[in-house]
Amino acid sequence: MPDVDRIVRVRAVTILHELEVPIVFGTWIMRHREFFLVRIDAESGLTGFAYGLTRDGPIAAIVERTIAPQYVGEPITDPEAVFHKALWSNNSVHAAGIGMRALSVVDCAAWDLAAKAAGQNITAYLGGGRERMPVTGIVGYPPSISPQATVDQITALWDQGWRRFKLPIGPTRDESIARLQAAREAYPEAWLGIDANFLHKTSADAIEFGKRLDGLDIGWFEDIVPPGDAQMVREIREGISTPVAMGDEQGGSYHPQALLRFDAVDVNRVDATTNGGITRLRGIAQQVKAHGNQLSTHMYPHIHSQVMGALGHTDVPIEWGVPYTGVHPMDDPLVQPVVRDGLMDPLPDLPGFGVLVDPAWIARQSQVTDTQGLLDDL
């Protein structure tokens, strides 16, 4: 091992997973889920990994062109300092949007590498303990499945110990309500949420649908309108009785301050892969809790379940998609949770995040763009 272990390479590969059934959220039609995997190599031979959704943006190009040069040559033991060096090297690109998305995942990979070098799991490396945490099952995928098929997914999870479930909107608003009604009737004690996936474009439209949720005891109405207008979100919150949850796709210069300043949400959604990695997650969580809001993480359970516990937020529900339904395919071949009475056991105690890469799954995908040979020795 060198006296000071330094980063020698940062690479990203793009992986396109074709969905068997397209996902339709109004005008947003997904025929695939595209991920990018980041790998950071150290002089010692250690490697750090993390991945995120590209949302069809040129993430790998940003990593290669503007982020990797800031990391190469830096010591592996201070991910926070290198994050800010990279952030401030390009204020136009890295401060928000796909630039922040790219930097966030690189940051996660840098923390994975640092924890591995210390021989610790990421929770211990961040100074926390590993505890059981609440989980939310993402059911109702593909969104075109029937109310009964949705209930069947809930039943399978309920029998395993799950007690919280979130549904996406259906092809129509009537179908969305029908699926929620079926779930509520079948499981009156379950926590149920709905994700609008940015379907609504005006507060009036969102409020009209939001009022249809009355009487269903819905835990939250999530991602109601596209990011960018905190005042609109505030108007929606004032116009409906169901709690409002927003934020997981809004990482950037003024996240979460805008949502908090307008008192726009009940639940602030956070995501280490878009909101500024692990480096920014601690501060974001502190702001949210100081405001009196609840916290919830967006997917990436192998990252969030280990990091939120380390930061002391063991009450934050961790989201898991039903494997092989199209929710978050890159998670599917990885270790799945053991759930008892609505709480998941800690994931296996392995260095860093544990195993975040399944090369066999990647090899089966329809399109893999690896211009820098990231996968060659995996």
The domain spans of the chain are 7-120+356-369, 124-344
93-112 pLDDT tens trace? 999 999 999 999 999 999 99
Q: Is the dihedral of CA 280, 282, 285, 289 positive or negative?
A: negative
> Homologous superfamily of 124-344 in CATH?
Enolase-like C-terminal domain (3.20.20.120)
Quickly state the pLDDT bin for 249 (edges 50, 70, 90).
confident
130-178 pLDDT tens trace? 999 999 999 999 999 999 999 999 999 999 999 999 999 999 999 999 9
- pLDDT for 49 equals 98
Q: Mean per-residue pLDDT for 78-103?
A: 96
179-227 pLDDT tens trace? 999 999 999 999 999 999 999 999 999 999 999 999 999 999 999 999 8
- pLDDT for 304 equals 98
23-58 pLDDT tens trace? 888 888 899 999 999 999 999 999 999 999 999 999
Q: Mean per-residue pLDDT for 282-295?
A: 96
Average per-residue pLDDT for the chain: 96
Pick the CATH number of 7-120+356-369 from 3.40.50.300, 3.40.50.10310, 3.30.390.10, 3.40.1440.60: 3.30.390.10
- pLDDT for 2 equals 57
- pLDDT for 251 equals 67
Phi, psi of 331 (to 5 degrees): -75, -25
- pLDDT for 26 equals 85
Report the alpha-carbon distance of residue 57 to residue 102 in Å, rounded: 10
Q: Mean per-residue pLDDT for 55-64?
A: 97
Q: Mean per-residue pLDDT for 272-283?
A: 96
Q: Is the dihedral of CA 329, 351, 363, 371 positive or negative?
A: positive
Say what the pTM is: 0.96
